[in-house]
Amino acid sequence: MTPPIRRFDAIVVGAGGAGLRAALQLSEAGLKTAVVSKVFPTRSHTVAAQGGIGAALGNMGEDHWLWHMYDTVKGSDYLGDQDAIEFLCRTAPEVVIELEHYGLPFDRNDNGTVYQRPFGGHSANFGEKPVQRSCCAADRTGHAMLHTLYQRNVWAKTQFFTEWMALDLIRDPSGQVLGVIALEMETGEVSILHSRATIFATGGAGRIYASSTNAFINTGDGLGMAARAGIPLEDMEFWQFHPTGVAGAGVLITEGVRGEGGFLLNKNGERFMERYAPNMKDLASRDVVARAMATEIKEGRGCGEHGDYVLLKLDHLGEERIEKRLPGIREIAKKFANVDPVRDPIPVVPTAHYQMGGIPTNYHGEVVAPKGSNPEAPVPGFYAAGECACASVHGANRLGTNSLTDLVVFGREAANSVIEFLQENPGHKDLPGDAADRTLARLARLDGQKNGERVADVAAELRRTMQAHCGVFRFPDLLAAGVQKIKRVAERVARTEIKDKSKVFNTARVEALELDNLIEVATASMVSAAARQESRGAHDRSDFPKRDDVNWLKHTLYFKEQYRLEYKPVHLKPLSVEPFEPKARTY
Amino acid sequence: MRFSVYRYNPDADAKPYMQDYDIALQPTDVMLLDALVRLKETDDSLSFRRSCREGVWGSDAININGRNGLACITRVAELKEPVVLKPLPGQPVIRDLIVDMSQFFNQYHAAKPYLINNDPIPERERLQAPEDRDKLNGLYECILCGCCSTQCPSFWWNPDKFMGPAALLWAYRFITDSRDQATGERLDDLEDPYKLFRCHTIMNCTEVCPKGLNPTKAIGHIRELLVKRVT
């Protein structure tokens, strides 16, 4: 049985920052566009971003996109593609100004320009000293940005399919992408959304970890769909642990706290980052700060009864400054840590936060995969932007504020690429007759399963495995055991059972389908991590403690089929400037 | 801990009913949302929306012991037992605690919640004095959870005609933005016996807003502007 078919020029899957920016571009170009989202758009994870969006506006003093580029390349531990990074940093000021024109309520300086705060890893003059580059709306920048982009889409009359979950990608025998199969949650009906071009902006998969800053919806749906459709996943071993998640709760505390002058203390009251990063101190890159914190805890200098967290002190900023620049943090600290940061420090631990890897793209947002001798042949009709994509601008470690920049720069660029593609490729290509078969079989398996396991139990085992075997510090025996364990979890995922078989808004079914995606991401991450024999950025191995540019200055490509790994070169050549040669990374 | 939860599945139930649950909470179950997730582990048919679990998305707005709030920032230990959980009042129920928010969002869209400025687009940012930016505080932070509008009797009675506190808060957010040029047009839109003037300052909205915002005050400012315009 073929599900009903709806036709569009373009489909955007995901309505966070990247999806909404892409949708706006497509709507304004007059294309028939559908935005498919599991949640109402303003409930997308972009809304949780706090500290700001990075762009060298130079409002606070001298700044230059080339300095931003240097910081990003260095922050990536030289794994980032320098053509994509140049594109990101050069385009950033323009897209941030565009957001201001859309109405984003940025904080202001006395002269009326956008206020910018310092942030980790961002420096002036190639690492000389911290620079103020993060454009912010208090500590609610993501909220302000997501609402502004949604509002602009309301203005542009974009068509939304809200509370629809995309289940699988449709590819024809030539490999061209022709849309998605999607589930309307309210009715439980499955449809084919047939399109001439498809953009994935489905966000990250931070929910593969037990302790995560990520929302429940961050289940890597785009990555799962891509992997099942034979598309590789790039650099999945690189997971960012944000230094400051609230201990116990995992809720994010922005790096902007340290940008505004807060700092970390161990149980001796020592400002320990001075030892690890004498120049940038608490504003070193996130991987550096997270490792320093984990080391302090491991070596017995953690705080509290169990010595399992450190403290983030900001009371010295004063109540007025905290209320003006960090009001949301005060609210979160009171609610989730039971402390008022105006008086007391916040207990924090490194917490899984961001996936640097994803669906491989070039800097035009086109999804690329190996074909013949070309490691990066565009997959016709398929585009990706934001956290689900790997351009790769973040390499082995993302700088704070660059995620929001990534969303708008590449959301817009992917849409521009679609517009160009559609001009050259008029009309819909025919759907293959079996377009929905595998998806319907997956749904039928789930509904027919007898004596299966509960989704919650299998998901919990997946999260525990990732947390224990693929964390801040990685060990060869734990990684090898982790690969075996996660494969066993995958077998269990194939046998999950839901008791509730009803059609209307069946969230049990949605959670089971999300687990199908989580397991693809978890497996890709564990297998890729076990194979990379070096330490780079967020990937830190006890048996290979040094970066190895001779053997490992290359991107990982993971294929679902037989857990196969391939590698491809890093783009060391920027678009117009001289390359930044890999060198030792200190802060 | 005992919970009494509104249940309705149109696939199976002729009419809604209240179901009791007794569950042992774990020490890590701090917020009501943690408890709801725990309940769902025992009964996967229990349906509710949830996402960020930190009070910034607004997915999990429900009626908790008679008062609207967000499950993820409501401490479960502070609730009186049995904890009575119902969907947001006055909205069509899709299933269990999930309501159809269309009326709420339609009113939000009707508020023209976007910046209108017809000047040529400048090369750099439009300048805004910090004092003017400060006027947006207490307005732009709205998360569209719907707690306010669905606790408002005027909205229950006229959800198609009265815009409700959230939409009016957003209307004022743009009226008061120094960069917006459509104040006249926006006020014209609100000059109507229902859209704004059905607010009887009952103040339920302000009372329940989980973000501590004050829609009543915003509505008051719009009234003042409308009055000023006439005189």
Compute the distance between CA of residue A341 and CA of residue A313 in angstroms, rounded to an integer: 7
B90 to chain A nearest CA, in Å?
A: 19
pLDDT value of residue A339: 96
Which residues, at least 6 apart from A448, have a Cβ–Cβ distance to it below 8 Å? none
pLDDT of res. B90? 95
What are A118's two structure tokens?
Answer: 């310092």
Q: What is the pLDDT of residue B229?
A: 87
Predicted pLDDT at B53: 87
B216 interface with A at CB cutoff 8 Å: no
Query: Which residue from B minimizes the CA distance to A457?
Result: B41
Q: CB under 8 Å to A447, separation ≥6 — which residues?
A: A498, A501
Q: What pLDDT does residue A142 have?
A: 97
Q: Could you give the residue numbers annotated as active site of A?
A: 286
Chain B contact probe: residue of A162, A499, A502, A510 with most B CBs at under 10 A: A502
Residue B230 pLDDT exceeds 90: no
B34 touches chain A (CB under 8 A): no
Contact flag A43-B113 (C-beta cutoff 8 Å): no
Task: Kindly report whether the global pTM for this prediction surpasses the value 0.95.
Answer: yes
CATH topology of B2-99 equal to that of B102-230? no
Read off the pLDDT band of B52 (50, 70, 90). confident
Q: For the segment A431-469, what is each residue's pLDDT rounded down to a tens digit?
A: 999 999 999 999 999 999 999 999 999 999 999 999 999
| B207: pLDDT strictly greater than 90 | yes
Give chain A positions within 8 Å (CB) of B125: 57, 97, 100-101, 106, 113-114
Q: Do B128 and A112 touch (CB under 8 A)?
A: yes
Q: What is the C-alpha to C-alpha distance for residues B39 and B57, in angstroms, rounded to an integer?
A: 22
* pLDDT band at residue B24 under the 50/70/90 scheme: very high
Share of chain B above pLDDT 90, in %: 95
The reply to whether A338 touches chain B by the CB within 8 Å rule is no
Q: Do A143 and B109 touch (CB under 8 A)?
A: no
Look at B58 and A248 and tell me if their CB atoms are within 8 Å: no
Element (H, E) at A504: none
CB–CB contact A43 B9 (8 Å): no
A562 Cβ contact list (under 8 Å, min separation 6)? none
Which amino acid, A117? R
Asked if omega into B130 is within 30° of 0 (cis), the reply is: no
The per-residue pLDDT for range B91-101, each reduced to its tens digit, is 999 999 999 99
Q: Is A278 helix (H, G, I), strand (E, B) or coil?
A: coil
Chain A residue with the nearest C-alpha to that of B124 = A97
Low-confidence ranges of chain A (pLDDT < 50): none
d(CA A585, CA A397): 12
| A229: closest CA of chain B, how far (Å) | 27
pLDDT for A2: 84
Q: Look at residue B223 and tell me whether its pLDDT is greater than 90.
A: yes
Question: B2-99 adopts what CATH topology?
Answer: Ubiquitin-like (UB roll) (3.10.20)
Can you give the three-state secondary structure of A382-405, one letter per residue?
Answer: EEECHHHEECCCCCCCCCCCHHHH
DSSP symbol at A168: E
| CA B76 vs CA A159, B42, B89: distances in Å | 38, 18, 21
Q: Is B51 within 8 Å of A216 when comparing Cβ atoms? A: yes
Give pLDDT, residue A582.
96
Residue to test with chain B: of A111, A244, A507, most B Cβ within 10 A: A507
Beta-carbon contacts of residue A233 (< 8 Å; ≥ 6 apart): A223, A226, A227, A357, A358, A359, A360, A390, A520, A521, A524, A528, A557, A558
B102-230 CATH fold: Fumarate Reductase Iron-sulfur Protein; Chain B, domain 2 (1.10.1060)
The rounded distance, in Å, linking the Cα atoms of A252 and A250 is 6
**DSSP-assigned letters across all residues of A125-158:** TTTTEEEEEEE-STT-HHHHHHHHHHHHHHHTT-
> What are the residue ranges spanned by the domains of chain B?
2-99, 102-230
- Suggest the residue from B29, B45, B54 to mutate for an interface test with chain A (most A CBs closer than 10 A): B54
CB atoms within 10 A of CB A278: 11
pLDDT digits (tens, 9 = 90+) for A214-223: 999 999 999 9
